[in-house]
Amino acid sequence: MEKNATIYIAGHRGMVGSALHRKLLAEGFSRFVFRTSSELDLRDQVAVRDFFATERPDYVFLAAAKVGGIVANNTYRAEFLYDNLQIQNNVIDSAYRTGVKKLLFLGSSCIYPKMAPQPLREDYLLTGTLEPTNEPYAIAKIAGIKLCEAYRSQYGCDFISVMPTNLYGPNDNYDLTNSHVLPAMIRKFHEARVEGKPRVELWGTGTPRREFMHADDLADACYYLMQHYSEPGFVNIGVGDDVSIRTLAELIRGVVGYEGEVHWNTDKPDGTPRKLMDVTKLHALGWKHRVELDEGIRRTYQDFLEKIATYAV
């Protein structure tokens, strides 16, 4: 990537997009084109084609998506499938039509079968049934991987795909209805501490295991792969280690300073029992994570405190 290249980050205000922007700025890039969702609806094919034809970006990071946790995925099934298909189809096709030099598509670890062997290797894709609660989102992301592969094989486009593990960090979504587990816990424990609540209720049994990566590590990995990787197969991005949801809760409770009781509501769903990424391929390419979970949680809690005015406590 040339330092004078024009870069388009789709979803630049989100957690992943903003991390990519910070990383690229730190590396000396300065020519960016941005559009907010109100300025450019990525579901609108004509609008997206006009944008690419006008701005002619050299490199594209496709980080825009409709995202959420178990509740959001299971409630808004149509939107999670339709919106994500439209977004990625329009951006990937427009990148091809305007001669983008390289595109990186960001997927999700939920693409893997629910009961796939652990850790999750890239070749486990499409070998079994998906987790029902997030199946629409997973199907859309699988389609995005295959679309990048199709444009590469048919037209020679340098389009690559990466599959991040569970992410967290600055600019995360702390909404209790639509957020993922880690930011939701941060907010729950913080509010319980401030309000003096004797206990916090968390969903499920606490036994499922999850891998968590700080968004700054993901951005660093994406930048590295844009420089060093150009193959049809996608690459898992993760830390190669996981913790139980119960352990995660204890880590967050300690960082926040909540001293009350934790109640596990076992009537609520656990989701997939385990999702650990096999990062052998990533490590072989020469990249490893730097931010450990306890330090990452501390950073993210500070981000939450800075945004506290946005949330009703």
Q: Which two tokens stand for residue 157?
A: 């486009």
At 91 the three-state DSSP class reads helix
Q: By the 8 A CB rule, do 31 and 4 touch?
A: yes
- Say if residue 193 carries a ligand binding annotation: no
- Say if residue 203 carries a ligand binding annotation: yes
- Say if residue 190 carries a ligand binding annotation: no
- Say if residue 178 carries a ligand binding annotation: no
Q: By the 8 A CB rule, do 47 and 31 touch?
A: no
- Say if residue 12 carries a ligand binding annotation: yes
Give the DSSP H/E element, type plus range, for residue 58: none
- Say if residue 94 carries a ligand binding annotation: no
Residue with structure tokens 């450990």? Answer: 292
What angle is formed at CA 208 by the lines to CA 81 and CA 161, rounded to 5 degrees?
40
Q: Is the Cα torsion angle 139, 144, 148, 154 positive or negative in sign?
A: positive
- Say if residue 161 carries a ligand binding annotation: no
- Say if residue 107 carries a ligand binding annotation: yes
Which of 137, 223, 229, 258 is catalytic? The answer is: 137
- Say if residue 180 carries a ligand binding annotation: yes
Which residue in 233, 1, 21 sits closest to 107, CA to CA? Answer: 233
- Say if residue 22 carries a ligand binding annotation: no
Question: What Cα–Cα distance (Å) separates residue 205 from each residue in 148, 208, 255, 271?
Answer: 38, 8, 22, 10
- Say if residue 1 carries a ligand binding annotation: no
- Say if residue 167 carries a ligand binding annotation: yes
DSSP string, 139-164: HHHHHHHHHHHHHHHHH---EEEEEE
- Say if residue 296 carries a ligand binding annotation: no
Q: By the 8 A CB rule, do 243 and 43 touch?
A: no
The question of whether 223 is a catalytic residue gets the answer no
Q: Catalytic residue numbers?
A: 137
Q: Binding site: residue ranges?
A: 11-17, 106-109, 141, 164-167, 180, 188, 203, 210, 270
Q: Which residues are annotated as a binding site for substrate?
A: 188, 203, 210, 270
Question: Which residues contribute to the annotated binding site for NADP(+)?
Answer: 11-17, 106-109, 141, 164-167, 180
